[in-house]
Chain A
């Protein structure tokens, strides 16, 4: 290559390939998502897939507008209420339970098998029983959500409380600070990264719990709405409700990440702070 040509080449020409890679890296998830939607839409139209088997994305959006916003809000609120209450109950019970399990070998040996048994019980199977026992209110739905949500929080928090370096416990003992302070000043803060990852996992479980509970007994809520609309072959409206559920799960999941970033940034990997 003559030297003039090399000199004439724009300075940013060499990294062009890298820039394309960088752009792709940034937009690939969005492009893939859009491609999937387009493929779905085209597939449905070209092969004339019946709506009651698989509605196209455009029909799902149209389905969303077949109900008034007030109707949607009513269902969203019913599901959200149960999911949030079950989730809150799971946190309020699981974290103290984990503290108890981590504090006492006897308690841990006594309660742990019970917790595993409860977790091993298919909650969907006992949901109808819970509804009969607890009656027609939010209570059985909250209990079902709790039962599906609590286990990872208990197990992961206990693991975190026990993962404290032995030297820190020795430091605490050498200061004769007492077991309460050892728990509050060392073990619990140390377990925060574990607790937050459990809370993230549990967000989706809370939504699953609320929907399962509505499948069994409800006259409101997105889970109920999906059952109701599919039984009338309004599959596109069912899909619209599903879309809302996915959105709720995602927002819920992200919120926990934001809470963690605000209140305990140190507990995140350095790249996520």
Chain B
């Protein structure tokens, strides 16, 4: 009996964009990795290394120029129901209240929302600790709370895969740390296969099982690191010597141009 296919597989993926002046920009070059079920994988790299493009490839929003992106062993040719996305900005809809924003994917996809689905959305609001804010409007929420709503919205259709595109990078430092632990709590409550894009080394080390370190443009895999820190992780993880050892290792790799 052969092993089940990985949840996400990228095989020799390249992505080239044509520009208006006829020239081409290679965003990603020969990228290969597998992500297993309920694994938390961080993608770490400098700005402009094609991290976001990688996320959009897996989401089926962009087609690869070369190679294959697979989910459960079948090629991704269009967006799939197994995937939920959290963007860098919460991009909530100001004309809906919080609950309306959480149920929006259902309304948008099927044109209607049942009472049972609303109850499900309330359950998600409890999960992200915004139970009392179901009727609140966007102006009344802080940046961190808005991103919690965006996470609840991404979980509504109960996707197997959660793609997160630097979801906390627009938040202030304190909120950002708080949200990292919140995400770990949510993830342990609702295990998902997570691809978490970030340019923060501590964030990547704290959250993930493995870290894909990328090279600058054109983006490619520099190395894939296991994070040997035990779970569940907490504030004390941040003072673990292994945490700092790994963070320092990555830092030295990222700042060395000719790393092996």
User: Is A270 located at the chain interface by the 8 A CB criterion?
Assistant: yes
User: Chain A's nearest CB lies how many Å from the CB of B77?
Assistant: 12
Contact at B79–A174, with CB atoms within 8 Å?
Answer: yes
User: Is B60 located at the chain interface by the 8 A CB criterion?
Assistant: yes
User: Whose C-beta in chain B lies nearest to the C-beta of A175?
Assistant: B109
User: Majority SS of interface residues in chain A?
Assistant: helix
- Considering the chains assembled together, what is the distance between the CA atoms of A264 and B95 in angstroms? 8
- Considering the chains assembled together, what is the distance between the CA atoms of A189 and B95 in angstroms? 8
Contact at A165–B108, with CB atoms within 8 Å?
Answer: no
A165-B91, A264-B95 given; A174·B108 CB < 8 A: no
User: Whose C-beta in chain A lies nearest to the C-beta of B163?
Assistant: A174
User: Chain A's nearest CB lies how many Å from the CB of B15?
Assistant: 16
A185-B107, A270-B139 given; A174·B94 CB < 8 A: no
Contact at B105–A175, with CB atoms within 8 Å?
Answer: yes
User: Whose C-beta in chain A lies nearest to the C-beta of B62?
Assistant: A170
- Considering the chains assembled together, what is the distance between the CA atoms of A171 and B59 in angstroms? 10
A181-B111, A185-B108 given; A174·B91 CB < 8 A: no
Q: Residues of B within 8 Å of A, CB-based: how many? A: 23
User: Chain B's nearest CB lies how many Å from the CB of A202?
Assistant: 23
Contact at A170–B85, with CB atoms within 8 Å?
Answer: yes
Contact at B61–A170, with CB atoms within 8 Å?
Answer: yes
Q: For B94, what are the chain A residues with a Cβ–Cβ distance below 8 Å?
A: 266-267
Q: For B199, what are the chain A residues with a Cβ–Cβ distance below 8 Å?
A: none
User: Whose C-beta in chain B lies nearest to the C-beta of A181?
Assistant: B108
Q: For A177, what are the chain B residues with a Cβ–Cβ distance below 8 Å?
A: 108-109
- Considering the chains assembled together, what is the distance between the CA atoms of A205 and B87 in angstroms? 42
24 CB contacts below 8 A, A to B, read A165-B89, A165-B91, A168-B91, A168-B93, A170-B85, A171-B87, A171-B91, A171-B105, A173-B61, A174-B60, A174-B79, A175-B79, A175-B105, A175-B108, A175-B109, A177-B108, A181-B108, A185-B108, A192-B95, A264-B95, A266-B94, A266-B95, A266-B137, A267-B95
**Chain B residues in the interface with A (C-beta under 8 A):** 56, 59-61, 78-79, 83, 85, 87-89, 91, 93-95, 104-105, 107-109, 111, 137, 139
